[in-house]
Amino acid sequence: MRNYNHEEILGLEKRFRTNLINSLSGFKSLNLIGTTSKSGNLNLSIVNSVIHIGSNPPLMGFIMRPVSVTRDTYNNIKETGYFTINHINENIYRKSHQCAARYPSDISEFEETGLTAQYINGFPAPFVSECKITIGLKLAEEQLIKTNKTILIIGSVQQLILPEEIINVDGFVDIAHVGTVAGSGLDTYYSPKKLERLSYAKPNRDIMKIV
Amino acid sequence: MRNYNHEEILGLEKRFRTNLINSLSGFKSLNLIGTTSKSGNLNLSIVNSVIHIGSNPPLMGFIMRPVSVTRDTYNNIKETGYFTINHINENIYRKSHQCAARYPSDISEFEETGLTAQYINGFPAPFVSECKITIGLKLAEEQLIKTNKTILIIGSVQQLILPEEIINVDGFVDIAHVGTVAGSGLDTYYSPKKLERLSYAKPNRDIMKIV
């Protein structure tokens, strides 16, 4: 086993440390964030930190670096108040990865990567039509993380569009069935295979498989 | 396609909405959080919201519900200032799922599930010896999310213990190689299979596979 303490981590070469620490949280969600500026410039960024914040009301969040390729995303969300979250799937993960390149603000990642912007139901931010599960959100809250000046952006779900056939009778969505991918580190893509769905855990009761 | 707007989501039956909205972020990290109270009661909780916050300094975070089974975890972190994050793997995901049961505070989930608490290098919180990748953290910051009163807990990495052979020359950690699992919704476990590792994205340069 290899053991690193805090000081050893701080002393690592920058790129090594970035890869190492980015591997520690476990598997990551992989999503595209679609936005537009007030003047109509479209932006699409890849984000691996989208998390569930709450179900009632329905809230989702993601972490944004203080100065990074995602600054267009941040400015657009602040200007318009809206953004979309779009699940990356096996067919488009390479195009999605390319969205991390540092394009100038007036260049649209949609055009550069060949992904398609789609406006649905008058929602003010663009969806990605190649994505099977797409969510339209309204900015609800922003939290500045003091320790490293990253920002937690929280949105309230306004529109949810997904294939009828992957919604289970109890609301569970079979995201693997439509090829949703997972990530690790900054650059590695995975296809998750289902092991089991398990029953609600209670003290002194055996866990059962849900089929 | 099925389309839900905000009002339709609010009107859904509670359990259906919980399952549906918990599926929307994509795949989730699955970790065990190990803590101890000042009086020495051990606690182990399962968390599916651990995310990377930053590499320099090394920071990780997770979301805690305001009143929930994880209240022992919260109280212990506040009392002692320390916690561990332990990757759930294919051998222990059923035992880990059982940690979500609402045990009284004086009952240790370690004893109830058969997972083993291990103290390493004098670190004040217990590690899980069945986990291959384990991290010891010190509480760095706490952010109350106003919209729904959940809490973002942020810790600074103090100890990192993992097998030497899964650390790549550039710092990337092969978490799939040691059976780390991913989750979806509240109760479904997945084994991710690697698709590709991709080169750093730049404008006007083709993405290449890293082998």
Best mutation target among B14, B190, B199, B210 (most A Cβ atoms within 10 Å) is B190
Picking from B55, B31, B53, B61, the residue whose alpha carbon sits closest to that of residue B180 is: B31
Task: Look at the pTM and tell me if it is higher than 0.90.
Answer: yes
CA B20-B25-B27 angle, to 5 degrees, is: 100
B207 touches chain A (CB under 8 A): yes
| CB-CB neighbors (< 8 A) of A115 in chain B | none
Best mutation target among B16, B21, B86, B144 (most A Cβ atoms within 10 Å) is B21
C-beta of residue B9 within 8 angstroms of C-beta of residue B17: yes
Q: How far is B100 from B151, CA to CA, in rounded Å?
A: 18
Picking from A73, A141, A68, the residue whose alpha carbon sits closest to that of residue A101 is: A68
B66 touches chain A (CB under 8 A): no
pLDDT digits (tens, 9 = 90+) for A21-41: 999 999 999 999 999 999 999
Q: Do B159 and A58 touch (CB under 8 A)?
A: no
Q: Where are the beta strands (DSSP E) in chain B?
A: 2-5, 28-29, 31-36, 42-47, 51-55, 58-64, 82-87, 117-118, 127-128, 134-144, 151-162, 182-184, 188-198, 209-210
pLDDT digits (tens, 9 = 90+) for A50-73: 999 999 999 999 999 876 555 899
Tell me which residues of chain A, numbers 7 to 26, contact chain B at a CB-CB cutoff of 8 Å.
9-10, 12, 14-26
Q: How many helices (H) and strands (E) does chain A have?
A: 5, 14
User: DSSP state, B29?
Assistant: E
Q: Do A100 and B158 touch (CB under 8 A)?
A: no
Q: Do A24 and B187 touch (CB under 8 A)?
A: no
Check pLDDT > 90 for residue A154: yes
- At residue A39, φ and ψ (nearest 5 deg) are -85, 0
pLDDT for B71: 86
Measure A97 CA to nearest chain B CA, in Å.
Answer: 7
B5 touches chain A (CB under 8 A): yes
pLDDT for A68: 56
Q: How far is A65 from A47, CA to CA, in rounded Å?
A: 10
C-beta of residue B137 within 8 angstroms of C-beta of residue B165: no
pLDDT digits (tens, 9 = 90+) for A75-99: 999 999 999 999 999 999 999 999 9
**Local structure of A171: helix, strand or coil:** coil
**Local structure of A58: helix, strand or coil:** strand
ipTM of the complex: 0.97
Residue B66 CB neighbour total at 10 angstroms: 14
Q: How far is A133 from A92, CA to CA, in rounded Å?
A: 13
Question: Which residue of A17, A107, A154 is in closest CB contact with B171?
Answer: A17
| CB-CB neighbors (< 8 A) of B199 in chain A | 187
Tokens of B187: 């109760």
